[in-house]
Amino acid sequence: MKKINTLVVGQGIAGTLVAFMLHRHKIPFMVIDPGETNTSSRIAAGMFTPVSGKRKTIHPDVLLQIPFAIKICREIEQLLGAAILHLHNIYQVFNSVTEKNDLLSKSATAEFEKYILFNPPALPNIKQETGACEITHSGWVDCGLLITRFAEWLKQNEALTEAAFVHQELETGNKLMEYHGMQFSKIIFCEGYGAIHNPFFHNQNIIPCKGDMLTILYDHPVTDRIVKKDGIYLIPAGNNLFRAGSTYGWNNNSTQPDESGKKLIEDRLDAMLENKYTTIDHRVAIRPTTQNREVIVRQHPKHTGMFMLNGLGTKGILQGPWWAKRVVELCEGQ
C-alpha cells in the first residue's frame, strides 16, 4: 500500500494548481487524471483582465487575484522551466460609438484610469473604424502547455496516475481512505464538469457552459497582444497562427463541435480582420460554471477528509490560484 497524504482527482487548471499548492506546502500527493485532450483547461484561452464582462466592470476581488495569479504562474514557470505566462495589454477594438463613449467616460474615473489607455497606435490588418483602447494589467496563460508540462513533471516525480477515478471503488475508512493500492487521509476532487458523476458531492449545481475555440492561420502581421472586438478575441500562437474564441453555450453539455459555434466566431472575425484567414482547427469543451458564479470550495460534512474545488467557470486562470490556495488551507485546517 503506497502511503500519501492527499489524492487529487483531476488535472485541469484546478487540479494542477491544487497539486502545485500541495508541492509548495511540501505535502506528499498523487494526482489521478485520464489525460483527455478536449477538456476546458486544455482548450482555454487562459486570458485574464481586470476589466471584464459585457458591462466592463472591475470586481475588487480581481485586483487581488491578478497579482496572486501572476506570482503563482511565475513560480510554476520556474518549476517547469517553461514560459507559460504572457503579460500584455488587451487591444480592445470598439464595436460601436456607444461602446467607445462608455469606455471613454469610464477611463476618466479614478477607478478605471490606470486600467484603460486611450488612443493606442493602430494595429495593422485589423478593422478599427471606431478606434480602440488598451486594457492594462492583463495577459494570458498558455493553458495547454501548463497542463502538459505539469503532467510531465508529475510523472517524473511519480505523482501521476493516468486513469479515470472510479468513485465507487474508493474505500472510506474511519480516518484513512484507500484506492487502488494507495492510502491517504485527504482527497481533493477537481473534476470540472465531470463532477456531475461524483456521488460524494452531488447537488453542487454545476452548470455546463459549452465553449468553442478555433485556431486560424492569418498570414498578416498583427501584434503580440490579445485583440478583442464584439466579444471575440484573437490570441497569438506563433507562426501566424491565432486562437479565436469563444462562445458561451449556457446549459449546453455537448462536446461535439457544431457549425453554429464556428460560424458565430467566424462572422465576428470577418468583422475584425482586414484580410482572409483559414480556420484549421475547431474544438469545444465544457466550462464548469455555477448559478451565481460562486467558486465551489467545500469540505464534505461527513467524510471530513474529502474536499472539492470546482466552479471556476469562465475565469479559471484568474480565480484558480486564489481558490487552490484556499482549498489546500482548508485541508490543512487553516
Ligand X SMILES: Cc1cc2nc3c(=O)[nH]c(=O)nc-3n(C[C@H](O)[C@H](O)[C@H](O)COP(=O)(O)OP(=O)(O)OC[C@H]3O[C@@H](n4cnc5c(N)ncnc54)[C@H](O)[C@@H]3O)c2cc1C
Residues in contact with ligand X by the rule CB under 6 A = 9-15, 32-34, 36, 39-41, 43-48, 164-165, 190-194, 211, 213, 245-246, 285, 287-288, 310, 312-318
- Please say whether the beta carbons of 253 and 286 come within 8 A: yes
Order of strands, edge to edge, in the sheet holding 182-184?
A: 2-3, 182-184, 177-179, 171-172
Print the SS3 string covering 25-51: CCCCEEEECCCCCCCHHHHCCCEECCC
Among residues 95 and 246, whose Cβ is nearest to ligand X?
A: 246
Among residues 49 and 95, whose Cβ is nearest to ligand X?
A: 49
How far apart are the C-alpha atoms of 93 and 108, rounded to whole Å? 18
Among residues 65 and 95, whose Cβ is nearest to ligand X?
A: 65
How far apart are the C-alpha atoms of 315 and 309, rounded to whole Å? 14
Q: Write down the least CB distance from residue 108 to ligand X, Å.
A: 28
Among residues 14 and 187, whose Cβ is nearest to ligand X?
A: 14
Among residues 139 and 305, whose Cβ is nearest to ligand X?
A: 139
Q: Write down the least CB distance from residue 313 to ligand X, Å.
A: 6
Q: Which distant-in-sequence residues (6+ apart) come within 8 Å of 239 by Cβ? A: none
Q: Write down the least CB distance from residue 261 to ligand X, Å.
A: 9
Residue type at 153 in one-letter notation? W
C-alpha cell recorded at residue 216: 486560424
DSSP-based three-state secondary structure for 117:
strand
How far apart are the C-alpha atoms of 286 and 212, rounded to whole Å? 9
Among residues 100 and 147, whose Cβ is nearest to ligand X?
A: 147
